[in-house]
Structure 1
Amino acid sequence: MADPGQRGLAGARRVPSAALDDYAFFNPGPGSHAAPSINYTHGSLGSHPLRAVESRFSLREQFAVTRREIDFDVDDASSILERSTLASQAGPDNGQDENAFPAGSFPHKPLPRDLYEVLCLPREPSLSPDDIRRAFHRAVQVLCVERQPVRLQHTAASYLGLVQLAFETLIEPYRRVEYDLSEASSEADPNYADVVDEPSSVDNAYGTALEEQYLLQREEAVRTTTDLGLRLDAVSALDLTRRPRRNGQTPGLGLGILDFGLRQSITVDTPALRTPIEKAASFVQGIVKQESSRIASKSSIRCANPTLNLTGSTHGLLDDSFKLATLLHDQYQPPGPSIHGRRRLEQLVASRFLGVLNVTARQELSWHEPQPQVPSRRVLPDAVIEQEVEILPQPSVTVRVGHSLDFPGDQEPLHIELSAQKLVRDRHALAPSLGLALSQRSGPGTAFLVADAGDWNFWPSKECRELSRFSKVTGGFAPRIDPFQNPPTIEAGYAFGNHEMGIQSGHAFTKPADRGLRGVDYEMNDGKTGSWTISSGLTSGNAAAYLRYGRDIFTSLTTSQSSNLPPGNSSHKRSGLRAEVEFAGTTQRDLFLAFRALKRVGRFAKVGLEVGLTPNNLHLSFYWSRLGQRVSVPFLIATKPSLSTKLAFWSTVVPFAALAALELLYWRPRSRKGATKKGSRSSTTKKEDMQDYIARRRTEADDLTVILATGVEPRQKLERQRGGLVILSAKYGVHDAPPDEIADVTIAVAACVDGGELLIPGGLRKSRLFGFWDPSPGSRKVLRVRFSYRGKEQTVEVSGRDELRLP
């Protein structure tokens, strides 16, 4: 797993222009060399004034070609070898416009490009480092920054910076894998046309994407969390059937506080410990290398930055402990800070106040090379070691280790998790409490098996067996007479639609998991649209079954549309409600049923409802969270004496019906109104935006064409002398398009020639390659190339994103 610094870098790479758009590069100061001007005006599609004549290619030859020329009947003048086009030979323009932009600066935002498009490389796992190096060397040669005139060196250096960023990212396996995970095409069908988005969205793409990445990084960078839970007693307030007292007065209807919980957690990286840990790991590897051929074949161990987590919490009972004992030990617990842990519940009931303080250190280790073709191996470390030291309430040490076992072929790895806990002051415990978890990705989900040795008490004590004879007196409390013991348990289950399980994903099986609304909150942050989990457990004298099902409702996006959204797109997160139902039951007739709903309000905040029903209690909880700050307010609606079917029905229906009404009558119309307002521009404005967009992209392509010509022409002359591949002409546009909507990309195509061969991989957006521009956004275009190879002229045509390979 990548450390936060790497995630931040990945976020920046999702917006390629963010890596190089230092404003000074694109806007040289007043002291820069005087440059010919670009008359940047709004006009029709057929009249885009560009650069002065001396500093660019002929407008007739480069862009405004005739249909006769696109058919390659007569196009002798377009050969790059028969005209003087070097930027160094361009003379000054005496008719410059005072308000024109200098040639060395951009009057527009740089076009966002995929790093594979920058180097003209295929997005394939088989892409080798040698291919990347050759593409980088070719790009450096054709940009030829040192040979550009002073007025163009700033612009050329800017594109060279983008080329260098692409090379550094793709040449390193881990950075390339991380980039592939974070980058996705915004078009649904890669085999369709080489389409560009609407100009209005493209113009704002940089700012929108930059803002999106900032918000994502802000959400992911939350390393401090606060949980506050306050349980209120609403039984007396809702009990309207009570008889009045003798004096004719009814008791007060105030809400009493039953208990509270507060937890604070902070996680920090410790990069200073990384180097010593790597040295220690290498030392241990060197010792055992001679005894294990398998270890000897592995590469060196790589360590991520160690992380330290400090968690402190406090729990208190504000009512009589005896009254709250059964409430705390109920199968269902409302959302809020959890008090579950060995001996914690026992100590809380005994003292009515409990403080918890623990420190956890986590270290991730990797030694396999990343395998992009195997998704399950791309994000998980090979091993994880966690050490947890609990200081309060009872000192203990817990060690968890996770490791993946690989199998031959395409079979998914088996993830193994081991844990051992030892109480420091417990002299009666003969052995530490052990735990084992196995998990493996199977089909669309994850299968898991968890075993816990507990307190090594396989059978109830003699006192508990004797007390079972008094079941008629104690009633349902008899099976719970020893509730503070942790018997051995085993659980097996399957989680559909969830592959981020286990200690290597940050969700260990061998420690209490985040459940309830807090678990739903985490799933929404991860972008999951829904999942279900089924499991069964077995322990001494008892068996249990568990089912949890959740999905998005009232959403404007279908499941397939949500799954096709690119990474970083949070449209599905703010759409509709996340609903969940959970059921658990045991052979001792202990069961609970819970209904939950969570709604994202704004960018980070969420509000939710939860209803939990057991044979003894009924809870209605309200939940709010924002950037790691969570507040839960559960209301105890009814206990066993006052619990009824009617009360349970209305306590469930009314809150969720109100939340659904708010979604349908307020939140959704408000969202649609905002979307309608955003898209309510007139057709005239859209047409002007289209013209403006084409003009600016055309200007950018003209800048690049002048820059590329400096390095391309000598290479093409050398190819002609050798009898190699010479690009005579290349046209890019829609079939039967007007002459002014066809782009001459001869220089751009020739810049892709390397070693007498040309390859434009399939799947790349040709309009994003250096020197290309899109003459007709939203339409299917073709690229026709006339070339000479070994003295013989030929013509080839490719459509859309099809591959072009010459000769």
Structure 2
Amino acid sequence: MSESTEPTAAAAAARAFGAHLEDDDGLDGEFGTATEYPDELDYYSLLGLAQKPPPTDAEIRSAYRNLSLMFHPDKQPSHLQESAEQHFQRIQTAYDTLIDPKKRVVYDLLGAEGVTREWGRGGAMGAGGDAEKQQVGVKAMTPEEFRRWFTKTMKKRERKAVQEMVDSRGSITLGLNADSTIRVHEDDDVTVQIPDTVIPVSYAAKYSFETPLSLPSFGGKAKEEEVQDQRKESEDAGIVEEEVEDPLHLRFNAGIAGNIIYRTQQAKAQWADGEEEDLNIPLPPVLIANNISLGATVTPNVRELIGTKGLWNNRVFSTLRDSTVLVEAEILPVPLLRTTVARAFQPIPGIKPFQVTTKTTFMRSLLESPPSLEVHVTKEVAPRKLAFCAWSSGLWYYPNLLLDHLFFRGMTLEDMYASAGDLSSLQLGLISLPNQPRNVVSMDDDDDVEPEEAELRRHLRKKQETDRAAESWQTFVQVNPGGGGLSLTYSRNLFSGTPADDPLKSEWSDEGYAPMAKMEDARAVRLEVASTVSPNLSFVWSIKGTRRVGEFTKMGIGIGFANQGILMTIGWTRLGQGLNLPIVICSKDEATHDAAILASIFTWASYLAIEFGYVRPRDRKRRREAAARCHNLLKKLVPQKRAESEQAIQLMIDQVRRRQLREYEQDGLVIDRAEYGYWPPTDRKPKPGFEEPRTTDVFFPVANLVDRGQLVIGAKTVKHQIIGFHDPAPLLKKRLKIWYSFQNRSHFVEIGDKEGIILPQRAHMCPESEQFNPLATE
């Protein structure tokens, strides 16, 4: 580095301690840390405060007072006023944010950009925002109450945005016939070829959407008074309740499914030479609709509809009030009304509750037959293990006794024949749910920590790999008058710990904000294997792989052995919209399990070739290019940041010297030397180009953090954003070394870039042979 002819404070301090400033030209960084590099100013680091434990108002004011006196533009010489103005504005903004309890809550959750957004127009605290609509005064809330109110407001906003994204759901399925793809010959030889023809043979389309439905509340004035009483009780207790949902949700659904028929017409053609020929002329395909459905589903919020007092407070209706209710109605293909009620029961205190779901379906007049019933009972028998039992009555008949003596007329022969497929059934099964992914353990070198902690980290990383696999399975036995079977389904993630099909989940909870990590690595493949064995030992199975190919887009491919033959499926889904292409690649007359296994191997090999030959190399190249752009930008900013830190050091020299002198006279904490940056490893050979240290002297910035004989640097403090610091080696692992004196004894401490420290500590004391003279402040 070519130093300026004008000596700077950093250079002077470096020469005083025998150090030198390194040349930063040609820095090469670790690309893996590019996405983690902080790109927003940290207010706590700027004021020299630790975020945990939270600083008190007195600590914030003290830090602001010291820095404002140090950087106030009116108290600086003319050539430093512009630099002082920039630093002072940042300090003022940081102080205004952290001293306001509500702004600090939002800043801790969303950062500086979140504070600007939420106090702007349309934000939660801005003009026309949620705070103006809140009947309980937001300004009168304590920080804890405001945090609960704000997180619930953000959760409601997020839920509304997600609901708008997936408000409508639709799917299109087009069945294709390409049964000439796989041929099984008489000698059991299997050949795979390009199909002669690919024609659509079936189709299906479904669509549903939700619409608001407002009805007058039951109970009228009494219900309104009840709501007001509950709100008053909440206000008196200091409880901020989340705004209730709409009392009714109405979803319409429609669908159609059928076959595509190809017809031909015979004709005779007579040529010019008088010869005749029989021809089959293809006609336009005909779509046959085998099933047309049209209906609606109503989900009432029973608590909001009927209230909690009066008649509805008795035991019978309170059971309904605490239940989840669905009402489904269809007019096509036949009129149908189904009511579903789900509720958790805990017959014995202290045990896991039973989740009981009952369904009642009316498909015909009560004079003909009673409604069909379904009962589904689920219970958690172990962590992430659910046992369930499901029973369905199917079609019931009134006994002859009732038909002969009461007004029931029974079913006609035609109705009985049409309902022959509505059979009773019994299912018993067990479900294993996947582990929830845990917070990512730091992948830093284990050589920097104690052996016990390194072993614990390795154990946690191994546990993370198991959790990321997200293994799950389900097995159940089904019995009905027509047969039954044993089914098993198994799924897990392959190739990567990054989830393949994680659902659109909430980032907000009552505890705060937990943003989903950016998925920079390649997505995993979600593998699903399903099989069913019938009583006659017929075996049906399928294998399907699903992969996320966009932020909200998934694609999947599967193959299996089914009643139609060997079936390949290709699917695409995005935000509730789906496209499915089931393709018959081998007819049921020729299909064998050997042919299906060969098709599975061929499909899997094709996917691996595309994934590892094209997709992943392309993604790695894109990530490297993005990291290189980030690194080049950081390299260009190093001289600018260095100049800013040197100007800041010049502004703080006088006050730091006076404070250090007071500490020296009181035998307090005196900073003798401090350096920050990258040092090459000593236990192994550094990489080419990283043999020399790249450090900067931070004596004055560190000494400025000493307050009343103590220095505190939080673990979450972004060290290169402390006033007077800068990053001399972007994207490299940096450390902070501090030499200090306390009670005329020399001390030394070294910490990593993501570690915190509190000084002084007895453990930092140097041996007698390494004692050095403390810095004598002029």
- Is the Cα–Cα contact under 8 Å of residues 178 and 197 in structure 2 kept in the other structure? no
1:544 lines up with 2:486 in the alignment:
yes
SS in 1 for 2:433: strand
- Is the Cα–Cα contact under 8 Å of residues 282 and 300 in structure 1 kept in the other structure? no
User: Residue in 1 aligned with 2:751?
Assistant: 799
The one-letter code sitting in structure 2 at the alignment partner of 1:316 is A
Q: Distance in 1 between matches of 2:733 and 2:198?
A: 68
User: Residue in 2 aligned with 1:292?
Assistant: none
User: Residue in 2 aligned with 1:569?
Assistant: 518
* 1:215-248 alpha-carbon deviations (Å, 9 max, x no partner): xx99998334543232325177669899xxxxxx
Q: Distance in 2 between matches of 1:141 and 1:581?
A: 65
* 1:513-534 alpha-carbon deviations (Å, 9 max, x no partner): xxxxxxxxxxxxxx99533222
**What is the CA distance between 1:457 and its match in structure 2?**
8.3
SS in 2 for 1:797: strand
User: Residue in 2 aligned with 1:377?
Assistant: none
User: Residue in 2 aligned with 1:766?
Assistant: 719
**Which of 315, 318, 327 is residue 256 of structure 2 equivalent to?**
315
* 1:439-486 alpha-carbon deviations (Å, 9 max, x no partner): 4883xxx22233445448899999xxxxxxxxxxxxxxxxx9964346
The one-letter code sitting in structure 2 at the alignment partner of 1:534 is W
User: Residue in 2 aligned with 1:743?
Assistant: 697
RMSD: 6.0
- For residues 690 and 113 of structure 1, do their structure 2 counterparts lie closer, same or farther at Cα, with a shift above 3 Å needed? closer
Task: State how 1:290-689 maps to structure 2 within 5 Å.
Answer: 302=242, 310=251, 312-318=253-259, 352-360=291-299, 387-393=325-331, 394-400=336-342, 417-423=355-361, 433-439=374-380, 442=383, 446-455=384-393, 483-485=421-423, 487-498=425-436, 529-540=468-479, 542=484, 544-553=486-495, 567-572=516-521, 574-575=522-523, 577-585=525-533, 587=535, 589=537, 591-601=539-549, 605-614=553-562, 617-638=565-586, 640-674=588-622
User: Residue in 1 aligned with 2:415?
Assistant: none
SS in 2 for 1:66: helix
The one-letter code sitting in structure 2 at the alignment partner of 1:222 is M
* 1:628-666 alpha-carbon deviations (Å, 9 max, x no partner): 432111123456444333542444333333332222333
- Is the Cα–Cα contact under 8 Å of residues 476 and 487 in structure 2 kept in the other structure? yes
The one-letter code sitting in structure 2 at the alignment partner of 1:693 is L
Q: Distance in 2 between matches of 1:794 and 1:278?
A: 72
* 1:650-707 alpha-carbon deviations (Å, 9 max, x no partner): 44333333332222333344345555666889xxx98x86763332332343465578
Q: Which runs of 5+ in 2 are unaligned?
A: 20-36, 75-80, 115-159, 186-195, 262-287, 305-320, 401-417, 439-465, 503-514, 681-691, 761-778
- Is the Cα–Cα contact under 8 Å of residues 61 and 744 in structure 1 kept in the other structure? no
**Which of 83, 88, 94 is residue 156 of structure 1 equivalent to?**
88
1:781 lines up with 2:735 in the alignment:
yes
- Is the Cα–Cα contact under 8 Å of residues 269 and 305 in structure 1 kept in the other structure? no
Q: Distance in 1 between matches of 2:607 and 2:224?
A: 52
- Is the Cα–Cα contact under 8 Å of residues 303 and 363 in structure 1 kept in the other structure? no
1:230 lines up with 2:173 in the alignment:
yes
**Which of 44, 62, 65 is residue 141 of structure 1 equivalent to?**
65
- Is the Cα–Cα contact under 8 Å of residues 677 and 727 in structure 2 kept in the other structure? no
Q: Distance in 1 between matches of 2:344 and 2:108?
A: 25
- For residues 260 and 729 of structure 1, do their structure 2 counterparts lie closer, same or farther at Cα, with a shift above 3 Å needed? same
* 1:490-539 alpha-carbon deviations (Å, 9 max, x no partner): 43221333579xxxxxxxxxxxxxxxxxxxxxxxxxx9953322233245
Q: Distance in 2 between matches of 1:227 and 1:240?
A: 35
SS in 2 for 1:65: helix
- For residues 756 and 269 of structure 1, do their structure 2 counterparts lie closer, same or farther at Cα, with a shift above 3 Å needed? farther
- Is the Cα–Cα contact under 8 Å of residues 571 and 579 in structure 2 kept in the other structure? yes
* 1:321-373 alpha-carbon deviations (Å, 9 max, x no partner): xxxxxxxxxxxxxxxxxxxxxxxxxxxx99721124335578999xxxxxxxx
- Is the Cα–Cα contact under 8 Å of residues 798 and 804 in structure 1 kept in the other structure? no
Is 159-168 or 252-261 further displaced after alignment?
159-168
Q: Distance in 1 between matches of 2:489 and 2:107?
A: 39
SS in 1 for 2:583: strand
- For residues 702 and 453 of structure 1, do their structure 2 counterparts lie closer, same or farther at Cα, with a shift above 3 Å needed? farther
User: Residue in 1 aligned with 2:272?
Assistant: none
**What is the CA distance between 1:760 and its match in structure 2?**
1.6
Indicate the structure (1 or 2) with the bigger Cα radius of gyration: 2
Q: Distance in 2 between matches of 1:416 and 1:301?
A: 28
SS in 2 for 1:693: helix
- For residues 350 and 660 of structure 1, do their structure 2 counterparts lie closer, same or farther at Cα, with a shift above 3 Å needed? closer
- Is the Cα–Cα contact under 8 Å of residues 624 and 630 in structure 1 kept in the other structure? yes
Q: Distance in 2 between matches of 1:140 and 1:759?
A: 16
Report the TM-score, using the length of structure 1 for normalisation: 0.52
- For residues 702 and 387 of structure 1, do their structure 2 counterparts lie closer, same or farther at Cα, with a shift above 3 Å needed? farther
- The size of the alignment, in residue pairs, is 548
- For residues 385 and 173 of structure 1, do their structure 2 counterparts lie closer, same or farther at Cα, with a shift above 3 Å needed? farther
- For residues 677 and 319 of structure 1, do their structure 2 counterparts lie closer, same or farther at Cα, with a shift above 3 Å needed? closer
1:694 lines up with 2:694 in the alignment:
no
Q: Distance in 1 between matches of 2:737 and 2:337?
A: 72
**What is the CA distance between 1:548 and its match in structure 2?**
1.0
SS in 2 for 1:630: strand
